[in-house]
Structure formats: structure tokens, C-alpha cells
Structure 1
Amino acid sequence: MEKEVIRWVIRLIILVVSLGYLLVWIMIPTNTFYVNWFPSIRSRTASAYFEGSGAGLLIYVFPVLFVALLASFYMQLGSKEVYVGKSSCGRWGSWKNPALVRGPLGIVSWIEMLFLAMFVVLLVWSFGSYIHRIFPNAGQDASSQGQLVWEVKLSYMALLLGLVGYICLSFLFFPVTRGSSVLRIIGVTSEESIKYHIWLGHIAMTLFMLHGLIFIIYWAKTNQISQMWQWPKVGVSNIAGETALAAGLCLWAMTWPQIRRQFFELFFYAHHLYVVFVVFFVFHVGFPSATTVLPGFYLFLLDRYLRFLQSQQRVRLVSARVLPCQTIELNFAKHPGLSYMPSSMVFINVSSISRLQWHPFTVTSSSNMDTDSLSIVIKCEGNWSKHLYEKLSSQSSPDPLPISLEGPYGPASTDFHRHDRLVMISGGSGITPFISIIRDLLFISNGDNNKMPQIKLVCIFKKAVDLTMLELLLPASSTEIDISQSNLQIEAYVTREESPGDYAKEHIRTIQFRPGRNDVPITAPLGPSSWLWLAAVIASSFVMFLLIIGVLTRYYIYKAEQKSSTATFSDAARSGLYMVAICLCISFTASLAFLCNKKWNLREVTISNMETPSISSTGAEFHSAETELEALPYQTLLDNTNVHYGEKPDLESILLGCKGSSVGVLVSGPRGLRQGVAALCSSKRADNIHFKSISFTW
């Protein structure tokens, strides 16, 4: 009870601070902010330690990092609870149903539409307020500069587009911070938030492109084209801005859907131009102005460095199940203290195939059922996955396969068991997120006084051999879960074949691997108490950063400026020093926390997790053994499965025929399938349906 009170207080404080932060963004383009508020704050924070950066750090950076700090404490307080979450049913449940089904935005819920509309209103409000505040001065500025009024207004227009772009850039990095406590506390997962990053990126680059283009037109019309090559010692650097814009446009061009799908590596490598964009953006506007963007990028940089540290370890691959439908299940050893939610994701790298490629996959195991292992399923749908399948299919020895991993990342809680019924609709490899959900619900249903909802799994496959993926619903290791007690019904549809054919003669092959010398179980980068450690890293790194820039400014920059009455310290040099200080503080504190937890985790790992699996002397049975599932659970699974050949499911009758006060509908698979199910769920005939789409196609 005391813990719940503390969490409630934290939520209240976070709400108040967040509303205050949003109020600042609403007031920024007004005279009230720039004439009254900001000068007052700047005068009170002005000192020889921070100079012009103090006000920006206080207004823009501190509130966000404070919220991230409190959110980390909030998540840590709830980390030991059973992850069942709060029901999405009731009057707020309908807000999560689809509002838009087809279009460039994809499937968008009503609550997403609301926040998107509010954000667009903020952009329009900011642009209109800037024009109202600045345009009346155009005539006076035109006469003083010897220019026409329309020319001055054109330069104003270019400037204002850049200022509005600040808003998008300030929120751009929040959605791609995978381990963010801010995203967790508002109930958004990293894969769900990718589309927000895409929306913000498109809007930001459109505004910045117009910002640069209009300035070039203005300079050409006023015979000031030489302004393009100016990098003054103090003030705005045009050439730095043009460099940032060029990097951003190259990155933006590589996100075109055709390029991203057909040339993923080009898209992936081009995305690293964000480093060039951010660095030269700071050089362009100066560090004090860049503090508006700093909080989101600060948290992203910290998360990215922790991911880098985790990815340097080789994880322990215990076994692999090779399915005849060109699908692989990889089973890794994990630390018993690592917990994750169903439908979580991991990113893996196989250095023997490519040292640079990282690919996301859904976790199919349950941290409740599989306490010492973590599993993923990979369907061969690209060159990388085909190479991996061929490598495992031709495996002739149990030598370890070097794999690195980042994650897992997923929701903070789930509410699947709160529904009366669950209908899961999958197409092809879209069944993978449902495997972990079903395993977790089976575990919960076998507990005391835990009622499992009625579950209907509707899976659509092209060929009969793909039906072997249903066997992955049960873990490779033996389990004591009683499936006969479950309310699970599976309806499998094979659309392109009229009969089973010879697929039943195919067997799942299990491959066991020897542990490598440097292999370790999967652990969270900051250990079981990762949220508490994350809060410590955020706080300590930021305090260290303030101390370093205070000392630099007071005893190096300030003294350098006082040596001569004419020479001043370069804005670019000051910005460069501040950016280096940020990187040093984050890398030092995060590395220290990571190493401490790594040492602690290695102490806790039991000897059994690192033992070599038993194999025969010849090794023949080791790499070509058939799947050994417990007879009763496997037979029960077969009894609960109906297979339909040569037909597609009638989704309308399946969904609209579901009875119950609350029916959860989850869909995963191709875009057309997700859009069709979303259209049915958004109809007024389905008031009891609560829709959720699981998509990994960005």
C-alpha cells in the first residue's frame, strides 16, 4: 500500500512537471515569454560558470531529465510486481481503437489522432505567433537595411520555419530511445513509437529544407550569396547549417520506402548521418540555443551507449530448432533475474554473416515459464536470414555460433488476461509475438485462482509445411504446464494448398551448441535493478556535465575572453567543448555502472547455466535429433487445432460473432491483413472489441 502511494505521488509530480514543460513550448513564440519570462530567468541564471547556457539548461533540459529520473524510480518500484497491468477496457478503451485504417499514417488510434492534432495545432500556433510578433517590424528593418519590405519578410519567413522546426527536433529522439523510462511510464513501447519518430522526422526535414531553400533565395535576390560560406567566430554559422541540412537531406532520402525495403543496408548506414546533423546543428545555432534539443538527444545518447556496451558481449546460444518451413528458433541462456513482457523484442547480430547488420526479432519465450532461457523465431524472408538458415541447416558440429544481442525491449505491463476473450489473428511469421503471449497466459492459468480468457488463435499460412510453426507454441524444454486446462482454440488456414501433402513427414531438427569460452547469459545492461541504476546514471552524468562546463567556462573560456578586449572565444569552440563534455560524462558514468553490474551478474550466474550440454560420443544424435515434446501437452495442442486447407478465414463472422463484455483483438502480419482487421474493429457493430496491432514493418 505504501508503495502504491509513492507511485501515485510520483505520477502526480511527473504530470505537473510535464504540463509545465508543454506550457513553455506554448508560450515560447509569445512576447510574454521573450519580453518578460526569459529575460528574467536569464538574468538570474547568468554567471561566469554557465554564461548564456544557464537559462536554457534550466528551462528545457532540467524538467525532462527530472521526469526521466522520477519515471525510473516509478518503474523500479513496480518491477517486482506481477506484470498484469491495468485493463484497457471501459470508457477509455475505445480511444485505443482505430480512427484511421488506410493512408500514409498507417493504422492510427483515436488517442494518437488526438495527440497528433494537438501537435499540429502547436506548430501552427507557434508559426502564427512568430509572424504576429515579428512581421510588424518588417518596414522599419527594411528601411534600416536598405531592402524592400517583401525581401525582409522573406528572410523572416525562412527564420521562422527554422524556429518551428526546433519543436519537431526537440521531440525527435524520444521515440527511438529504446530503454527510455519516459516511454515506459506513458505505456508506449519502442517499436510502437517508431512511427512517431517517422512523423516527426518528415515534418522536421520539410521545415528545415524550406528554411534553407528560402534563405538561399533571399541571399540570391539581395546579392548576398556570399553569406552561404560564412562561419563567423560569434553568432550563427551558415556553412555549418548547410552541412547539417545536407546530411539531413541525405538521411531523409534514404528513408524512401522503396530504398528502405530493397536496400536496407544503405538505409541503415545513411541513418548514422544523424551524428553529422546534430553536431553541425549545434555549431550552426550555438550551444545555448541547442539546449531546446538537448534533453531528448541526451537520453538517446545514454541509451545508445548502454546498447553499445551490451552488444560487445557474446551471448550463450544453447540450442536451435530448425523447422522444414525455413524457420529457426534460437534458444539463449539468460540470467534468472532478467524479466520481460510478452511481445518484447531483441536485436541480434551474427558476426559470421555480417558484423554491421542488426535485425529485430520478437521474443517467443515467457520469462515466467522459461526462467533460464530466451527464445526468438526467425523466418527466412531476406538474404541475412537465408544465410543464417543455411549455416544452421548444414551444421556438422556443435561449435558455438558467435551472436551478440541488444534488449529485450517491450511494454512495462500487459492486460491480455483482463479480457473475457482474446482473438489473435496472424499472417505468416506474424504468429511469433503470439507465441510468447500464449505461453505467458498458459503459465498464469496454471496458478492459483487465475482465470484464463478464452483464446482463439487464427493463423493464416500459405503452405502446409508452415503449420510446423504451431509446434513452437510449446517450449523446446520439458514443461509442467497443463494445457488441458486452457481455453485455447487454434484455427489454422492454409490458403495455397488443398491437402497436407508430405509436410507431416518432415521433422523439426534440434541442434545443441557447446558454450564458447567468452559466452555469457543474456542480462540487462544495468542488471536486475536497471531502472534504479539508470536513474543514478542520468543524475550523476548530468551533475558531472554541469561541473565540467562550469569549470571550463569560468577558468578557461572566461579567462581567454578577458585576455583581450577585442578577441572573444569562438562559439564553435565553446559548443565543441560542451559536446565533448556530454560524451565524456555519459560514457564514464554508464561504463562504471555497466562494469559494476557485469561483475555482480557473473557472481550470480549458476554453474548449470554454463555447463556443456550432454552429447553422445559420435555426436550424430546431437545435431540431428528430432523435437522431443511431452506427449500429453503436444497431443492436447493437436486436439485443439483445426486446419482448413484451400480457404481463407471469414474474419467478419469471427470477430463480430465474439461474445463477451470485453474482447481483445490482436493482429500481426502483412499490412493488408492488419488494415482489414482494423476496419472491422473500428465499425460501430463491434463496441465490445479492443484492438491492438503489432507491426514490425517501419
Structure 2
Amino acid sequence: MDEHSAQNPLLRRDVGTSYAKKTPLFVSSAKWILKFVMWVIFFAWAAFIFLLPSEFMNDLYHKWIQSTRGTLFGVTGSIFLIFSGPILIIAFLSIAYIIISGEEELHGKKTSIYPSFRLWTFPVLVDGPFGVVSATELIGIILFLAYVIWAVYAYTMSILSFMSDQFSFKYKSILMLEFLGLRFGSIGLYCMAFLFLPVARGSFLLRLIDIPFEHATRYHVWLGHLTMLLFTLHGLFYVIGWAMDGRLLEEILEWKDIGVANLAGVISLLAGLFIMAAGGIFLFMLDRFLRFCQSRRTVDIISAKCLPCGTVELVLSKPGNLRYNALSFIFLQVRDLSWLQWHPFSVSSSPLDGKHHLSVLIKVLGEWTAQLKGKISDDELLKELGVQPNTRITASVEGPYGHEVPYHLMYENLILVAGGIGLSPFLAILSDTLHRVREGKPCLPRNILVIWAVKKSNELPLLSTIDMESICPLFSDKINLQIEIYVTRESEPPLEEGYNHKAIKPSLCPMSSEYGMSVLVGTGNNIWSGLYVISSTIGFVILVSLLDIFYINPYSVLSWWYKGLLLVACMLASVFIFGGLVVGLWHLCEQKNSSREKCGEINVHKMEDNNTPAHRDSSNESLVKSTIVRYGSRPDFAEIFGSISESWGHVDVGVIVCGPPTLQSSVAKEIRLLNIRRERHHPIFHFNSHSFDL
């Protein structure tokens, strides 16, 4: 790798950064203002929740409630506005920000000529209950724990100042337990204000900060465990206090309209839950309804084949205007196998591979994947016998989801570490990079090292699913690509090299945009997605207003649990009615565009070479020369990264890992060690994982 080392790159940094287009002043100013306003609102909202246990902020909160309780929405509206209003406002502003940003990709991303550490790519905790945790994530964990500790301390001091020396020890104990039980429940509700934000797959909030859904779910899991712990303490303290006072059964069976009832696990606590955490829950409802609408479309599988290793490759039909990045993923349902099971798969094709299709690689690991492979194998056998299968394989799809910006294109020096089928998204990266280099599109990677660990050599044909030479002829003169393969469970190579096996040719079906994937996805058309969110929110406000004017106030409805149920009903109705109207118009617009696109194509049954998945039996001599296969060993990351540190010099190196947790931990541990002990002339490694923590 010395010939094209990072010290003498084929494409100089000034050339790599020349892709950046100058953004108009009014656009950059508008983006800066929007970003500033969003950060101010978020920090003010977070500071309010953090300081709420203090006496000063608690007094301000109650004054706010008293001064606004006479308004149209009453106390419910006051609580909703202060706890959920800010996050909805940020969501609205993020819609405007993303629409203004447009299809910038790398155009607005400036790359520094000086390598530097980044908190979100620096692994801090590796071998712990949270998995690999970056410095940014650790700061977030510490802040949440600090909030819980501070809140418990503040509430404890408050109750202690209230107690009198005349109270008996038993009474003090019961009072303390009930008060802390109440406050643990309050702290849990405040944590729930953040709980549902990470699980909206197409959320504008996640797209704004460029955190893909598969990464954000781990924050939902962490917050969920913390919230469950707080609610468990909430209930436990109350039960102990009631038992000490001899009124356990009476309290558990109590049902009251005002305040919190205890029957059936504190049913009316849902009212407070939906008012304090309504913002995140409402955004989740919006996302879930849009996913439901998208998944109703039946998608044609235009190609299906089984590789010798047993891995299945599916090529799905999609409309030309459905955009995605190389590191995107989809959720797939095959109704012939199950109407309930949805499975996530990384996209193995680049969006530049073809306008009307995307590919996924599926490894047989369970019953569902085994049934899928069996069905495809049976169809292939029938075709070999000259019998046409009775049915065609169809699927339902949600997505694509993933990073808003293709961050893999921002590193001039890239290391891709894969375990088994984890190579799938890296095939998309390689294809994307080669297409961009050939077409002169924004693309920084020029030094790419692929480290791939597999159990047996029969998995090597996965490399044959991408024909690099046909994508970018003489690519070895433009990109320094090195592939190191480790076959861990075989001590010597078979009679034939695995990656030279001929893949089974797929049976291509005619492609029709009518049966392609639906563009009704939160990460799709920004304008339609924004209108959907805004119209649903406005509809929610309208429905709550009408409910207060014509029902709650005239009939003096006071029951908290009942008002909570009505609030949920308004949420659902606003999504279905107001949001559904926008989705319907969006769907009609999609059909119109599909028909126009179909009429504009000369022949949709013939795919051009640049619009067809690469299924050629090419020897790829350049690829063979740059590939090293080692048998009976595992990657020694200390040696690999140590060698890179000496040869690549003082540069930024992006490391992307896709594989089991043990592989991620091993790579993260070595990167952390090298970054801590690095010398001035050594590179800075940036850890990125591509995995599903679902």
C-alpha cells in the first residue's frame, strides 16, 4: 500500500475539497438562524426539566399553571405547551432546515486539512453493559444520571424541611416513602419526554442531527431501562408505605377522578404520561402511520438468487425518485412466509447502481430466512426443469432509512471492518465510491482497506455480487483498494478459490414502476413529509380546541384519566384525518409521477448496463491482485492498525465496523488505545458502527 499511501494520495486534499460548492449567503444565513433558534429552544427546554426539582423553578412552574389555567385548554394545555410544545416547535424548524439544505450531501461539508478528534467517533467505554459508547454518548449518560441524582436530592431536602420534630418516626418514614414514591414517578415522566424521540424511523429530529434509527434505538433502550427503574421505585416506595400504615388494599383499589388513581397499576397515570411526554409520542404516531401507509404497497422482487454460501440476494423494484444512501437499510416482509414478521437488512447496492432497483443480501440465520431461501431454491429448480412457478415472490417494504448524509464519503482514508454478512453494506460503499470516481461526483475516499472475517471460504462469493471493473474501468489507477480476508475455520484453501466461484445467475423479471416501493416514507420527499407533520399537528390543536369548547368545558369533565384518553383520541384522529389527507394527496402525486416516468421510458423491460445489478462472471483481475486471503487466523487489529499508523501518517482515518458486538468491541478497544497513545505523526482513527441494536 506504499505506492498509493495517504502521505502521497492520488487525489490531493485541495482537489478533494474542490467538490464543495459555495452556498448562497441567504441560504447559509437562514440555516444558521434556524440552527441557532433550535439550539436555544432545546437548551431552554432541557434546562427547565433539569431545574424543575429546585424550589425556584418549581414555583415558576406552578405560577405558569395558575396564570394559564383560565385559557381555552386549561391546565392540560398549559402542561402540554411547556413539556411538549418546544419539541414540536423544533420539529417544525427542522423541517424548514432540511428543506433549505436540499440535496447538499457533501457540498456544505468542509473537511479540515488538519486531523482532529471528534467526540462522537471517539470510543470511551468498550467492554460494558452499554456496548461501545462514544464520548458524546457518555456525556449524555452522565447528564441523565446527574439529573436523576440531583432530582432525588432536591426532593429529599424539600420533604425533610417540611417534617416537624413532633412527627413520630413511623409517620416520618411513611411520609418520606410516599413523597419519594411520588417524586420517582415524576422523574420517570420527565425522562419519558425523551423516550419516544429515538424510535421514529423517519423523524425530522433524527435526520437533523444525522443519527440513523438503528443507532438511536439504543438510546431508547437505555432510557427505557432507566424509566422502568424509576417507575419500579415509584410503586415500591408507595407499597411499602401503605403496608406500614395498614392501608395497602384500600389504596390499591382506590379510584379517584382528580389526581392519580392506583387501581390496575395506576391507570390514570397515563393522563400525565401523555401530557408530559405527548410531543415524542405524537411524533412516533406520525411516523408509525406513515410507515403503515408505505408498507401497504406490494413490491416486486425482480431478481432472486442463492449464492453458494447459502446467502440470498434480492433485487427490489423502486421508483426513480426514491433516494437513499449507501449505508441505508430497509425493513422487509414477505407475506408468503409471514404476515407479522418484519426484518431489517442493509442495502447492498449503491443508489448509483440503478435508478429503478436496490439490492439486499440475506444470510440464512433462522426459520424465516430458511423458508425464504427454500422458496427461492424451489422456484429455481422448477425453472431449470422448464416449469414456470405458479406465483411470483412479492414483498412489503418500509424505508429506506439511514444517515441523512453519506458520511463514508467524508474520509479520504477509509477502513471497512466486516464480519460475515456484515460485508453487505460495504459492497454498497465500494460501488458508490467507484461510481462517483468515474462520474466525477463528490467523493473523498482514495485509500480503502477492507478487513473481512468469515467462517468458511464458501462465503467468499459475496464479493462476486459487485463487478468493480465494469463500474469503474481501471479503478486501481484511481483508488488504492486493499482487501484482506480472514477465513477463521479453515486452515488451508480449497481446490478452487472461493471468490472465483461462479454465482448462480438470477432470473430477471420485467420491471414496472407500478409495483415498486412506495415513496411514502419520512426520509423521502421533504416537502410532503413536512406538510404531513405540520397538518397533523394543526389538526391536533383544532380537535383539542373543539373538544374543550363543545364537550369538556360545557359538561365540566374533570376526571384526569378520562381527559387523558380524550387527548390520545385527538392525537390519533389528527394523524388519521388531517395527516391522512396529506398522505392521500402525496400518494396521488406519486402515482402521477410514476405514470409520467413510465411513459417517458422507451422500454421498461430492458435494463441498461448502468441500471442493472452487476451479475457478470468477470474474473476482476485487478480485484484479485488487491485481495489477500488468510486461512486459519483472525484479524490482529493491533498489528493492522499499528502498521497503518506508521504508513498512512498524520491523517484522519474513518473506521466503519459492521459485525457482531465482539468484533465492534475489539476494533473500538484498539482505536481507543491508539488514539490515546498516538504520536504526532500518527493518524487519528474515527470509530463508526453500522449495526442494528433493535
Q: 1:551 to 1:182 in 2, by over 3 A?
A: same
**Aligned counterpart, 2:652:** 662
| Deviation readout 1:396-442 (Å, 9 max, x if unpaired) | 33642120010011011133333332111111111112111111111
The secondary structure found in structure 1 opposite 2:353 is coil
1:607 aligns with 2:593: no
**Aligned counterpart, 2:404:** 412
CA contact (8 A) 1:319 1:510 kept: no
The secondary structure found in structure 2 opposite 1:187 is coil
| Deviation readout 1:59-80 (Å, 9 max, x if unpaired) | 1111100101111221122232
CA contact (8 A) 1:400 1:515 kept: no
| Cα distance, 1:230 vs structure 2 | 1.5
**Aligned counterpart, 1:26:** 50
The secondary structure found in structure 2 opposite 1:459 is strand
1:284 aligns with 2:275: no
The secondary structure found in structure 2 opposite 1:20 is helix
TM-score norm. by structure 1 comes to 0.85
Pairing of 1:261-410 with structure 2 (within 5 A):
280=267, 283-284=268-269, 286-287=271-272, 290-395=274-379, 396=382, 397=388, 399-410=391-402
1:638 aligns with 2:631: no
Instruction: Return 334-343 or 494-503, whichever deviates more.
Output: 494-503
| Cα distance, 1:649 vs structure 2 | 2.8
| Cα distance, 1:231 vs structure 2 | 1.7
| Deviation readout 1:305-351 (Å, 9 max, x if unpaired) | 11111111111221123201011111112121121122111100011
The one-letter code sitting in structure 1 at the alignment partner of 2:516 is P
| Cα distance, 1:518 vs structure 2 | 10
**Aligned counterpart, 1:160:** 183
Alignment partner of 2:205 out of 167, 176, 182? 182
The one-letter code sitting in structure 2 at the alignment partner of 1:135 is L
| Deviation readout 1:480-525 (Å, 9 max, x if unpaired) | 6653433222111212221124557853223335469996212331
**Aligned counterpart, 1:111:** 136
The one-letter code sitting in structure 1 at the alignment partner of 2:124 is A
CA contact (8 A) 2:418 2:452 kept: yes
| Cα distance, 1:612 vs structure 2 | 7.6
| Cα distance, 1:152 vs structure 2 | 0.8
| Cα distance, 1:473 vs structure 2 | 3.1
| Cα distance, 1:285 vs structure 2 | 5.4
1:197 aligns with 2:223: no
Separation in 2, partners of 1:210, 1:32: 26
Alignment partner of 1:533 out of 514, 528, 532? 528
Pairing of 1:459-498 with structure 2 (within 5 A):
459-474=452-467, 479=471, 483-484=475-476, 485-497=478-490, 498=492
Alignment partner of 1:169 out of 186, 192, 204? 192
CA contact (8 A) 1:317 1:513 kept: no
Q: 1:679 to 1:505 in 2, by over 3 A?
A: closer
Separation in 2, partners of 1:87, 1:362: 27
**Aligned counterpart, 2:4:** none
| Deviation readout 1:333-379 (Å, 9 max, x if unpaired) | 21211211221111000111111000001011111332221111101
Pairing of 1:50-129 with structure 2 (within 5 A):
50-83=73-106, 85=109, 87=111, 90-93=115-118, 96-129=121-154
CA contact (8 A) 1:347 1:358 kept: yes
The secondary structure found in structure 1 opposite 2:554 is helix
Alignment partner of 1:218 out of 228, 238, 241? 241
Separation in 2, partners of 1:71, 1:61: 16
Separation in 1, partners of 2:512, 2:466: 32
| Deviation readout 1:35-83 (Å, 9 max, x if unpaired) | 2x22332244323621211211221111100101111221122232234
CA contact (8 A) 1:442 1:483 kept: yes
Q: 1:142 to 1:321 in 2, by over 3 A?
A: farther
CA contact (8 A) 2:449 2:481 kept: yes
The one-letter code sitting in structure 2 at the alignment partner of 1:640 is S
Separation in 2, partners of 1:360, 1:673: 20
Runs of 5+ consecutive residues of structure 2 not aligned to the other structure:
1-23, 383-387, 608-612
Separation in 1, partners of 2:166, 2:584: 58
1:555 aligns with 2:550: yes
**Aligned counterpart, 2:573:** 584
Separation in 2, partners of 1:366, 1:27: 47
| Cα distance, 1:142 vs structure 2 | 5.7
Separation in 2, partners of 1:175, 1:369: 31
Separation in 1, partners of 2:664, 2:522: 36
Separation in 1, partners of 2:197, 2:27: 28
Runs of 5+ consecutive residues of structure 1 not aligned to the other structure:
243-279, 562-567, 616-625
CA contact (8 A) 2:410 2:444 kept: no
Alignment partner of 1:423 out of 412, 415, 418? 415
**Aligned counterpart, 1:436:** 428
1:594 aligns with 2:583: yes
The secondary structure found in structure 2 opposite 1:581 is helix
Separation in 1, partners of 2:578, 2:341: 28
The secondary structure found in structure 1 opposite 2:89 is helix
The one-letter code sitting in structure 2 at the alignment partner of 1:445 is V
| Cα distance, 1:219 vs structure 2 | 1.4
The secondary structure found in structure 1 opposite 2:519 is coil
| Cα distance, 1:7 vs structure 2 | 1.2
Separation in 2, partners of 1:167, 1:573: 21
Separation in 2, partners of 1:24, 1:94: 26
CA contact (8 A) 1:83 1:341 kept: no
Separation in 2, partners of 1:376, 1:504: 19
| Deviation readout 1:600-632 (Å, 9 max, x if unpaired) | 1222223388978579xxxxxxxxxx9842748
| Cα distance, 1:191 vs structure 2 | 0.8
| Cα distance, 1:110 vs structure 2 | 1.1
Separation in 1, partners of 2:305, 2:603: 20
Separation in 2, partners of 1:232, 1:545: 28
Separation in 2, partners of 1:28, 1:334: 49
Separation in 2, partners of 1:611, 1:448: 28
Alignment partner of 1:206 out of 207, 229, 240? 229
Instruction: Return 175-184 or 524-533, whichever deviates more.
Output: 524-533
Instruction: Return 423-432 or 568-577, whichever deviates more.
Output: 568-577
Q: Kindly report the root-mean-square deviation, in angstroms, between the aligned alpha carbons of the 2 structures.
A: 2.8
Instruction: Return 380-389 or 161-170, whichever deviates more.
Output: 161-170
CA contact (8 A) 1:322 1:393 kept: yes
The one-letter code sitting in structure 2 at the alignment partner of 1:195 is R
The secondary structure found in structure 2 opposite 1:348 is strand
TM-score norm. by structure 2 comes to 0.86
CA contact (8 A) 1:549 1:578 kept: yes
CA contact (8 A) 2:464 2:503 kept: no
Identity of aligned residues (%): 29
CA contact (8 A) 1:400 1:513 kept: no
**Aligned counterpart, 1:629:** 616
The secondary structure found in structure 2 opposite 1:511 is coil
The secondary structure found in structure 2 opposite 1:167 is helix
1:40 aligns with 2:43: no
Separation in 1, partners of 2:340, 2:350: 29
The one-letter code sitting in structure 1 at the alignment partner of 2:684 is N
Paired residue total: 637
